[in-house]
Structure formats: structure tokens, C-alpha cells
Amino acid sequence: MRFADHIEFAWRVVRGYRARTLLILLAMGIGVAAVIAVSSIGEGARLYVVNQFGALGTHLVIVLPGRSETAGSMPGVLVGKTPRDLTLDDALALRRSAAVRRLAPLIVGAGDVRAGALSREAPVLGSTAALMDIRHMTLASGRFLPEGDPRLAQPVCVIGAKLAAELFGARPVLGEWLRIGDRRFRIVGVLAAQGQSLGFNTDEIVIVPVAAAQALFDTEALFRILVEAKSREQIAPAQSDIEAILRERHEGKRDVTVITQDAVLATFDRILRALTLAVGGLAAISLAVAGILIMNVMLISVTQRRSEIGLLRALGATGRQIRLAFLTEAVLLALGGATLGLVAGKLGQLVIGQIVPDIPFTAPWWALIAAPLTAVVTAVLFSVLPARRAARLDPVQALSKR
């Protein structure tokens, strides 16, 4: 029997028993669609986290005061003991490393911010001009902190879009004076609205020169030093340079923690990938259920088509041909179901994407291959038994009227 004839014969069976075909297509389709939709949710979550970290900066190396062993946690929640402060001079010394493109010292505090009669509490960041490029910030108007010696405490500030709106309404903001604590700052720039980015809402902050923040909070200690390496390959050299320089400056003590964005990212990436695989695997169970349904339906079909099988034997069909006929039928059904599932899964992914537009839902490539493949393999596996049963039917009994 020719290959094309096998396909055509199976195709006519599939078309001949519509209800049965529809049922199997539905079961297979749901299985495949579930795997694709669920894994695309997992993949979407992974991409979301990766993008969020990407927005934090590129080739970033973060220096924290204190020694901490938890290297894979979020930079915002790392709390180390501080035997010795990180100072502005420490930060400036890091410029010696050839692997470092730029760096920004960071002081974080909360301040009572007042403009005219309005007042509110806001996070105050002390940093330098380089912060804007390192953190990929954009300005809505004005300019950022001035370049020049970071030790100079110029009375200027940049504020978030939401804070500007709350304090000044629709009035022009640039050039206005802002009181933070007992000091006055002239507003030179307003940040573009960016929204939440890993725990920091940049729309509500005030950024002042680092020296001004030191005076404001009456501390020499830096909260972080954000360092940008020259390239991806330079991240590791930058990290070791930073550790060497700071150890030298701190009398040989390793009392800082240097973490790279990559290390943090890689950890999240691994966790979320594993999670996606796990939920995809759970959804794949529905494919196994679909396989069992195929087996049931096929077994019934063998019983219903007994006399047809007997006839085919009488016409000279070998047992192998009968077996192949049933297997081909199963493969056709599985392929149909898989196609249906791929389309439905993609549609479902689009719908979820509409509901939660922030998360980039997309089915990972392995799911697009594995789901249909699993469908076909289960269909074939679960059809082996019915097909064998059909092939072994005694032709005389199969032909006789029951």
C-alpha cells in the first residue's frame, strides 16, 4: 500500500466519523493550547523580570557597604553590617579601574519636601550627573545634576514627574525653589514619568548632588555605589578591580559587597525558567489524558469497524496494513489537534496579553515544539494497543454478523 493511499484512507475515516474526530481534536487541542498558554505565562514573567533588571542599567556592578554572603538576592533588600562606611572618596577612587566607564555614588534618605505652603515626605537621592546615564533615566524638561566636582554641594535638584505635579500643579516648575529639611534647592529638571522600577518609584523622588545629601542627612556614608562597566566582558575585571581598590583603601579588609547585575539576573532567570518548565509539564498532563481518550475512542472504533476490518482482510490487507491504517488515523487526528491547539494557545496568549499588557507573554520555543510533538507521540503510543487489536482480529469472526 502506498504512503499517499494510507493518508487518504485515514483522511476518509477521519472525515467519515465527524463527532468522534471533533471530540479528539478538542481534547488534543486543549492539551496543546494549555501547554502553550501556561508556558507563555511563565516565560512572560521571566521576560518581565529580565526587562525590569535591564531597566536598572546595563553592565551594572553595585557596591554595598558591609560584607554579605547572600550574593543572589535583590540589591534593595541586602542588609550587611557596616564596620566601615563607604565614602565619596572611595567612590571616586574606583575611577582608577580601566574596566569602569562611569560611576555614581548614591545616598538615600527621606526628606520633608516643601514648596510654598505645600509639603510632603519624599525619598531623597544624593548622586552625581552620571546617575542619569547609568540608570537610564530620561528628563521631561530642564537638565540633570551639573557635571563637575561631586564634592561641591550645589543647591540644585531634579524632581520626579508626580512630585512636580503634586507640589506645583500645572504651574511651571523649572527655576522654582524647593525646601528640603532646612535647605533650599532650585529645581533644574523634571524626570519623565517612568513608573515603578524594582521598588523605586522614580516619579516621586528628589535627586540632589551627593555632597548636598551628605550635608542634609549629616552623614559621610554612601548607601551604594553604582558602577557601569565598559562592556559585558569588562564586568568581571571591574568587579575584581573594585574589590582590590576598596580593600587597599580599607586597610586590607574586605568589608564591602560587590554584586553584579548579571549574577542577580542569572539567578532569577534560572528560577523562572525552571518554574515555566514545571507548569508546562503540569499542563502536559492534559496531553496524556487526551492520549487515553484517543485510546478509548480507537478501541471503540475497532469494535464498531469489525466487519470493515474483516472485509479489508478478505480483500488481501495484511495485519501490518490494518495496524498502519489505525496508527495513521491517530497521527492525523493528533496533528489536527496540535494545529488547533497551537492556534488556540496563541490566541489565548494574545488575550492574556491584552488583559495584562505589562507582561510580555510569549510562548518559549521549546513549548512550541514540545507540545505538538508530545501530542503526536502520545497519540501514536496510545493507538498501538487498539491498532494491534484490530490487526489481530480473526477475519472470519470479524466478517460474521454478530
Partner 1 sequence: MIRLEGIERVFRVGGEAVHALRAIDLQVGEGEYLSIMGPSGSGKSTLLNIIGLLDRPNAGRYLLDGRDVTDLSDDERSRARREKIGFVFQFFHLVPRLSAAQNIELPMVLAGIAPEARRGRIARLLADYGLESRAVHRPDELSGGQCQRVAIARAMAMQPGVILADEPTGNLDRHTGQEVMALLEKLHADGGTLAVVTHDPEIGARAARRLRMIDGAIEGDERG
Which residues here bind partner 1, judged by CB under 8 A? 1-2, 4-5, 9, 12-13, 15-17, 307-308, 310-321, 395-396, 399, 401
**Helices (DSSP H) in 76-140: which residue ranges?**
88-93, 131-134
Q: Whose Cβ is closer to partner 1: residue 237's or residue 319's?
A: 319
Shortest Cβ 313–partner 1 spacing (Å): 7
48: exposed, middle or buried (C-beta count within 10 Å: 0-12, 13-18, 19+)? Answer: middle
Nearest residue (CB) to partner 1, 5 versus 112: 5
Residue 201 class from Cβ within 10 Å (0-12 exposed, 13-18 middle, 19+ buried)? Answer: middle
Whose grid coordinates read 553590617? 81
Shortest distance in whole angstroms from residue 29 CB to partner 1: 23
In whole angstroms, the minimum distance from the beta carbon of 8 to partner 1 comes to 8
Decide whether 133 or 308 has the Cβ nearer to partner 1.
Answer: 308
Q: From the CB of 336, what's the least distance to partner 1, in Å?
A: 17
Measure the CA–CA gap between 25 and 9, rounded to whole angstroms: 18
Q: Of 13 and 222, which CB lies nearer to partner 1 in the complex structure?
A: 13
The three-class DSSP label of residue 119 is: strand
Q: How far is the CB of 315 from partner 1 (least distance, A)?
A: 5
Pick 13 or 27: Cβ nearer partner 1: 13
Closer residue to partner 1 in complex, CB, 82/303? 303
Looking at the DSSP bridge assignments, the partners of residue 360 are: none
Torsion angles phi and psi, residue 237, rounded to 5: -60, -40
Per-residue 3-state assignment (H helix, E strand, C coil) for 23-79: HHHHHHHHHHHHHHHHHHHHHHHHHHHHHHHHHCCCCEEEEEECCCCCCCCCHHHCC
CB of 21 to partner 1, least distance (A): 12
